[in-house]
Chains A and B, each alone.
Chain A
Amino acid sequence: MMNLVRLMIVAAIWLGLAVSAQDELVDERILLTFIPNVQFAPFYVGVEDGYFADAGFNVSLAHLQEPEVLDLVAVGQANFGIVSGEQVILARSRGRDVVYVFEWFQKYPVGLVYSSALDLSDLANLQDMAIGIPGRFGASYSGLTTLLGSAGLSEADIDLREIGFNAPEVFCLGVIDAAIVYVNNEPLQINNLAADGDCGSVREVDVITVASQVDLVSNGLIVSRAYLEENPDAVARMVGGLAGALRSVIDNPAGAYLASLAHVDSLPADEALLKALESAAEEQVDFLASDPDRGDIARSRRRLAAELAERFDRAALTQLNVLLNTIELWDAENIGYSDLSSWEAMRDTLDSMGFLEDDAGSLQDAFSNRFVTGADW
Chain B
Amino acid sequence: MGKVRLDESRHREMAAGLEVSLRRLAPFLTIACLLLLWQWISSRGIISHILVPPPADVYQAFIDSLADGTLLKHTVITLEEMLYGLLLGVGIGLAIGYAIAKAPILENILSPVIVAFQSTPIVAYAPLLVIWFGSGIASKIVTTAVIVFFPTLVNTIVGIRSVSPNLRDLMRSLKAGRWQIFRHLEAPSALPVILAGLKTSTTLAVIGAVVGEFVSQGSGLGYLVTSARNLYDTPLVVVAVLAMTAISLTLYGIVAYVEWRFLVWQRRASA
Contact = CB atoms under 8 A, between A and B. Distances in A.
Nearest to B131: A169
B189 interface: no
Contacts of B229: 65, 67
A173 B232 CA distance: 35
A71 B52 CA distance: 11
Interface stretch (B91-99, B152-160, B211-219): B211-219
B226 A163 contact: no
Contacts of A90: 230-232
| Contact residues on B (Cβ < 8 Å of other chain), bracket | 20 to 34
Nearest to A160: B218
Interface string B208-228: 000000011110000100110
A355 interface: yes
Contacts of B111: none
| Contact residues on A (Cβ < 8 Å of other chain), bracket | 20 to 34
A164 B51 contact: no
B231 A135 contact: no
Contacts of A95: 49-50
A6 B68 CA distance: 81
Contact of B233 (A66, A94, A138, A169): A94
A175 B133 CA distance: 11
A91 B227 CA distance: 13
Contact of B50 (A66, A74, A170): A74
B48 interface: yes
Interface string B49-67: 1110000000000000000
Contact of A164 (B217, B227, B230, B232): B217
A75 B50 contact: yes
B54 to A, nearest CB: 13
B144 to A, nearest CB: 17
Contact of B130 (A136, A137, A166, A355): A166
A93 to B, nearest CB: 8
Contacts of B230: 66-67, 90, 137-138
B92 to A, nearest CB: 25
Interface string A92-127: 011110000000000000000000000000000000
B197 interface: no
B127 interface: yes
A110 to B, nearest CB: 15
A164 to B, nearest CB: 5
B217 A136 contact: yes
Contacts of A138: 230
A136 B229 CA distance: 12
Secondary structure type dominating chain A contacts: loop
B113 to A, nearest CB: 23
B200 interface: no
B135 interface: yes
Contacts of B127: 164-166
A237 interface: no
B134 interface: yes
Contacts of A136: 217-218, 227
Contacts of A163: 130, 135, 216
Nearest to A138: B230
Contact of B217 (A70, A75, A135): A135
Contacts of A93: 232
A162 interface: yes
A137 B222 CA distance: 13
A349 B130 CA distance: 29
16 contacts: A70-B232, A71-B51, A74-B50, A90-B230, A95-B50, A134-B217, A135-B217, A164-B127, A164-B130, A164-B215, A164-B216, A164-B217, A166-B130, A169-B131, A173-B131, A355-B231
